[in-house]
Structure 1
Amino acid sequence: MTGLYALKPWYTARLSSVVAAAARRRVGPDVFTALGVACAAAAAGAIAAGWWLAAGLLLAGRLAGANLDGAVARARGVSRPWGFVLNELGDRTSDLLMFAGLAGLAIGHTPPALPVGPWRVAPLVLVLAAAAAASLPTFVSLAAAAAGGPRLNGGPCGKTERCALAVLATALPGWLGVVAVLVALASLVTSVHRLRVARSELTTPVLCVETAR
């Protein structure tokens, strides 16, 4: 269950000329991390204003930055643990900025509330709940990595899917509450999926084969 994350190698290959140019000019990978966050900040403004096309282009830039920082680091041979920290911080900041834009969209366009049991819940509340739920897959992945496992990705609602759904909500603000619920539920499913993969990775016994001397 990899979701749109399966497209990452293809997307990175489309950016190969940028990677090569950055390596030749000795551009640091952190530059692309910062550019990704800057695109996310600009996308937040476009989302709040309801400009879905601009939001889509800027979020594509955000994803490009998230791909390029690691690709450039590997191409230049400068990968380092601190770069991993900056990459994760950039991704989380970009996510929060995107959800801030969706919160602005909820306030500015006043889409209809959704019935949840006996209550009607405002889209702003649902957006905030979606933002909280969207953080869970990352927490699972980082916890697994800290325990010695791989940095997990994939699932039905990673950052690529969240960006796509944010653009959809911007284009159809009347459906913002529905999209927020979808993000929240899909994020929970993604968290469970990653937990299952992490458990499998971290509990599989490692066979030690003694070589002859």
Structure 2
Amino acid sequence: MPSLYALKPWYTRRLRLVVDRAVARGTTPDVFTAAGVAGAALAGVALALGWWLPALVLLAVRLAGANLDGAVARARGVSRPWGFVLNELGDRASDLLMFAGLAVLAARTGGDPVAGLTPLAWVLVATVAATLPTFVSLAGAGAGAPRLNGGPLGKTERCLLAVVGAAVPALLTVVAVVVVVGSVLTAVVRARRIRHAPGVA
């Protein structure tokens, strides 16, 4: 299914100058992993304050960091298992920091319950649901399938939805519900792809 993840190669090409400079200087890919997490942390603060434009810029930094670490590792020929671990930890930490900002915003702005849950509760449910696609992908990788990304709702879509929530706090519950439904659907899509991957019984 199409998603914004399909834009990753285009985005990587736009960042090619950064990759080339990093290779020339021998910059470790871990620098970009750390930069992405730092961007997510600052974005979390911006989201908590409802500053959607700074959040948009900082989440772009988060995505750039997540993109560049792998691109630089491949360009320098220094891909390693520990780099994979750091990349996954960085992505998960970045997601948690982003959702923490949304949770603070939901607590600050309040709102009427929907289906018995407050906006804050919905954001917390969305935080948990957003981990499902990654769990499925990592489980599949452990079974010998390729490490899957993309799907109806990946990290790029989550970042854009977070910005929408910051711009219009009244829509936080709607944003959270979309994340929950989209994450479950993405997990199912990835599980189906893994099930039919070569070598997976």
The normalised TM-score by structure 2 is 0.97
User: Does the 8 A contact of 1:36 with 1:90 survive in 2?
Assistant: yes
Which residue does the alignment assign to 2:45?
45
What does 1:38-77 correspond to in 2, within 5 Å?
Answer: 38-77=38-77
**Corresponding residue SS for 1:68:** helix
User: Which residue of 105, 120, 126 maps to 1:124?
Assistant: 120
Q: How far did 1:123 drift?
A: 0.4
Question: CA–CA distance in 1 between the matches of 2:200 and 2:90?
Answer: 32
Q: CA RMSD in A?
A: 1.1
Gaps of 5+ in 2: none
Counterpart check, 1:161 vs 2:160: no
> Percent identity over the alignment?
64
Q: How far did 1:150 drift?
A: 0.2
**Number of equivalences:** 201
- Cα deviation, 1:149-188, whole Å, max 9, x if unaligned, reads 1001111110000000000000000110111011001100
Partner AA of 1:153 in structure 2 = N
Gaps of 5+ in 1: 206-213
Partner AA of 2:79 in structure 1 = S
User: Does the 8 A contact of 1:2 with 1:153 survive in 2?
Assistant: no
User: Does the 8 A contact of 1:3 with 1:154 survive in 2?
Assistant: yes
Deviating runs (4+, > 2 A) in structure 1? 202-205
What does 1:1-213 correspond to in 2, within 5 Å?
Answer: 1-110=1-110, 112-116=111-115, 119=116, 121-202=117-198
**Corresponding residue SS for 1:163:** helix
Structure number with larger C-alpha Rg: 1
Question: CA–CA distance in 2 between the matches of 1:173 and 1:136?
Answer: 25
